[in-house]
Chain A
């Protein structure tokens, strides 16, 4: 068990460019979550997957954002036509999804995005 990993850890891009982040959950965790955290705030829910199915999306997830989880393993979060307001830490978490203890979410180190 190597924990949740995210890549890249840091990304600097120019406004208008597209960026893609990757998250690898803990193996055998069938639930995967994306959150966004801005400076001085707690993480805010963006979307979550159970296996390969995207079950819920927050209103924070505008049309420029898309997330996928092909084959129910790793997930990608793409932001198209980035804006300065997209600058934030993007956190990924996973959970086993079975039973009470299985609902504990384990977080990755995050991808810090800076849009210039």
Chain B
């Protein structure tokens, strides 16, 4: 079974600084997708960034970027120029690629709570 591990329960970063959240996963598949979702307190989960496993180039979305190391099964999220609004729970998630024909469910890690301080 696929597993996703986030080893940092909590992280803290000062406003305008950079922080990296770690994620590792275990799978025997070669084609899959990886996601980072953000869940602010009492608000709904929103997609931050996604990565297709067949792409070697790391995904970027404005201040958010990933370091995808397929061989190491590592998928970290870097947040640059942190803002107060970045404070939230961040979840790393994995899903099979559509081509495998299996359910497209997401498998989540346990999350990292990010605090942003002034």
Contact = CB atoms under 8 A, between A and B. Distances in A.
Given A42-B110, A103-B33, A104-B50, A56 B105 contact: yes
Interface stretch (B13-21, B39-47, B56-64, B68-76): B39-47
B106 interface: yes
Contact of A40 (B33, B46, B110): B110
A21 interface: no
B112 to A, nearest CB: 10
Given A48-B103, A100-B98, A107-B46, 13 more contacts: A43-B45, A43-B91, A45-B105, A45-B107, A48-B104, A56-B105, A91-B45, A100-B52, A103-B33, A104-B35, A106-B47, A107-B44, A109-B44
18 contacts: A40-B110, A40-B111, A41-B110, A42-B110, A42-B111, A43-B45, A43-B91, A43-B106, A45-B105, A45-B107, A48-B103, A48-B104, A48-B105, A100-B33, A100-B98, A104-B47, A107-B46, A110-B44
Interface of A: 4, 31, 33, 35, 40-45, 48, 55-56, 58, 91, 93, 95, 97, 99-100, 103-110
